[in-house]
C-alpha cells in the first residue's frame, strides 16, 4: 500500500517509464490521471478519498456493484479450498458452475467453454463455428467491437487494423441492420454470422427484433451459425438476463463476459447447445486455456449467479435505465451545440455529443463533477453510461445531475 496516497501524479509520471507514454497522456486528456484507492457499490474513490460515481464499471463487468462483500468472501473461501486446478482435468467446481449457468442462460445453451477474456471467447467461438460447419467464411456487421485478440480484432470495426499486418482471412462485413444484404451474402460458404445485439461502443445501436429473426432464418436456411456477443449486454444489463431474450433471438453460440463473476475474478466464455457439442466430442482439444474455468473462479462465479438469481438486478436496470433516459432526452434541446442524442437499453446507455473533441472534454469535466465515464471505442464522439446494476433512485439522480453540470461546464 502507498504510504502517501496523494502522490498519484508523481507515480503517473514515473509510470511513463514502464507503460506507453500515449496511455498516460490519454488518461490525462480524459481526466483519468488518478488512482483508485477503493470502491463500494456504484462508487470508486481516488487517492485523495474523493467519491466518484463509476459509470464505466470496467466495461460493464461490475454488474453486482463494486467490491461486493459476498463475492469477496467467496474468493477468500475458495482460495482456502482449492487453487487453479489442472486445466486439462474436469473438476467438481467446473461441473457445478456449468450446471448452474445452464439453468440461468436462455434457450438450450447447456454446453460451455470457459476463457479468461472476451477476445479469447470470440476466438474460440469462431474456431468452433469453422470446425462445426467445415466452412471458413465469417460474416459480421459494421460498428462492432469484440476484443483485442486475433479473430476478435479481425471482426471489430477499428481504424488501426493496418498497424498489425494481415489479420484473419475470410472475414466479410455487412451493413448493420440490412436484412437484404444478409439474405444476399450469407451462403453455403458461411460458417457464422456474428454481431452484438446492442453495439455498446457504437452509440448503443440496437438490432431490431425483426432483423435478428431474419438473421436467424437466413442462418438456418444456409446452415450457418448465429453468434451473439453478449459480453456487455449480458447478466441483466439491458433489463433482461440477456438481450437476446428481450429481442426474441436464439443464438447458436452465446458469448458471455466478465460480469459472470461480478468483477471479482476474470471469467468469460461461450455457451452452445448439445448439437454443436458433437464437434467438441470429436475434437476436444480445439481450444485450451490454462486459466479458463479456474477452480477458484468457478466458486466465485457460482456465488455471483446465486446473487443474480436472488437480486434479479435486470429489473432495477430496466427501471433506472428508463429513469435516466427520461432525464437525459430533454438535454438535447438545452445544449444543441454539445448534446446530440441519447440511446440505449437498461443501464447500457450512450450519449452522443457533437464531436470527438467534445467527448474528451466531457470526460475530463465529468471527473470534476464526480463522474467516471469513457468515450465509445467505435463512435468516439459518444460517452458510455454503464454503472453497476445496483444503482438506486438517489444515485440515478446524482448521475443525472453530474451529467447536466458537466454539460454546463463545457
Kindly give, in sequence order, each residue whose CB lies less than 8 Å from that of residue 364, ignoring residues fewer than 6 positions away.
Answer: 29, 30, 31
At 71-120, the pLDDT tens digits run: 999 999 999 999 998 887 789 999 999 999 999 999 999 999 999 999 99
Q: How confident is the model at residue 8 (pLDDT cuts 50, 70, 90)?
A: low
At 192-212, the pLDDT tens digits run: 999 999 999 999 999 999 999
pTM: 0.94
Strand duo 190-195 + 137-141: pairing: parallel
Which CATH number describes the domain made up of 69-311?
3.40.640.10
**pLDDT at residue 1, rounded to an integer:** 29
**Whole-angstrom distance, CA of residue 87 vs CA of residue 94:** 10
Domain ranges of the chain: 8-67+313-409, 69-311
For residue 22, which of 232, 201, 163, 231 has the smallest C-alpha distance? 163
Burial zone of 319 (CB within 10 Å; 0-12 exposed, 13-18 middle, 19+ buried): middle
**Whole-angstrom distance, CA of residue 347 vs CA of residue 317:** 5
Average pLDDT over residues 348-365: 97
Instruction: Give me the DSSP letters along 55-67.
Output: SSHHHHT-TT-BT
pLDDT above 60 (res 5) = no
Supply 160's cell numbers. 488501426
pLDDT above 70 (res 173) = yes
Q: Are the beta carbons of 60 and 237 closer than 8 angstroms?
A: yes
Under CATH, what is the fold of the domain 8-67+313-409? 3.90.1150
**Whole-angstrom distance, CA of residue 130 vs CA of residue 225:** 9
**Whole-angstrom distance, CA of residue 125 vs CA of residue 109:** 13
Kindly give, in sequence order, each residue whose CB lies less than 8 Å from that of residue 43, ignoring residues fewer than 6 positions away.
Answer: 51, 52, 53, 54, 66
Angle between helices 356-368 and 393-409 (to 10 degrees): 120
Amino acid at each position: 500500500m502507498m504510504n502517501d496516497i496523494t502522490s498519484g501524479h508523481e507515480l503517473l509520471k514515473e509510470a511513463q517509464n514502464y507503460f506507453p507514454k500515449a496511455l498516460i497522456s490519454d488518461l490525462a486528456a480524459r481526466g483519468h490521471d488518478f488512482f483508485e484507492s477503493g470502491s463500494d457499490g456504484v462508487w470508486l474513490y481516488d487517492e485523495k478519498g474523493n467519491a466518484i460515481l463509476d459509470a464505466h464499471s470496467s466495461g460493464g463487468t461490475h454488474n453486482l456493484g463494486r467490491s461486493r462483500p459476498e463475492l469477496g468472501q467467496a474468493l477468500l473461501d475458495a482460495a482456502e479450498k482449492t487453487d487453479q486446478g489442472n486445466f486439462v482435468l474436469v473438476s467438481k467446481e467446473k461441473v457445478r458452475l456449468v450446471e448452474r449457468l445452464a439453468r440461468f442462460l436462455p434457450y438450450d445453451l447447456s454446453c460451455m467453454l470457459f476463457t479468461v477474456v472476451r477476445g479469447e471467447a470470440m476466438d474460440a467461438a469462431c474456431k468452433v463455428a469453422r470446425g462445426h460447419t467445415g466452412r471458413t467464411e465469417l460474416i459480421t456487421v459494421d460498428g462492432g467491437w469484440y476484443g483485442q485478440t486475433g479473430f476478435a480484432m479481425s471482426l471489430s470495426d477499428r481504424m488501426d487494423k493496418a498497424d498489425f499486418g494481415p489479420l484473419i482471412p475470410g472475414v466479410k462485413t455487412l451493413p448493420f441492420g440490412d436484412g437484404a444484404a444478409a439474405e444476399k451474402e450469407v451462403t453455403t460458404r458461411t460458417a457464422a454470422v456474428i454481431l452484438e445485439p446492442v453495439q455498446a461502443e457504437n452509440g448503443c445501436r440496437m438490432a431490431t427484433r425483426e432483423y435478428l429473426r431474419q438473421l436467424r432464418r437466413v442462418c438456418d436456411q444456409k446452415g450457418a451459425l448465429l453468434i451473439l456477443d453478449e459480453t456487455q449486454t449480458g447478466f441483466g444489463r439491458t433489463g433482461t438476463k440477456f438481450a437476446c431474450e428481450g429481442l426474441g433471438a436464439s443464438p447458436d453460440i452465446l458469448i458471455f463476459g466478465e460480469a459472470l463473476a461480478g468483477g471479482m475474478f476474470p471469467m468469460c466464455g461461450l455457451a452452445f447447445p448439445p448439437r454443436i457439442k458433437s464437434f467438441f466430442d470429436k475434437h476436444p482439444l480445439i481450444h485450451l486455456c490454462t486459466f479458463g474455468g479456474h477452480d477458484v473462479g468457478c466458486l466465485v462465479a457460482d456465488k455471483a449467479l446465486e446473487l443474480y438469481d436472488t437480486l434479479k438486478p435486470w429489473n432495477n436496470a430496466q427501471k433506472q435505465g428508463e429513469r435516466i433516459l427520461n432525464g437525459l432526452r430533454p438535454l438535447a434541446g438545452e445544449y444543441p451545440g454539445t448534446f446530440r442524442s441519447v440511446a440505449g437499453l437498461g443501464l447500457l446507455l450512450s450519449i452522443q455529443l457533437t464531436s470527438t473533441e467534445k467527448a474528451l472534454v466531457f470526460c475530463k469535466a465529468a471527473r470534476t463533477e464526480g463522474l467516471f465515464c469513457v468515450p465509445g471505442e467505435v463512435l468516439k464522439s459518444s460517452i458510455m453510461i454503464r454503472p453497476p446494476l445496483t444503482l438506486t433512485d438517489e444515485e440515478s439522480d446524482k448521475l443525472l445531475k453530474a451529467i447536466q453540470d458537466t454539460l454546463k461546464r463545457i
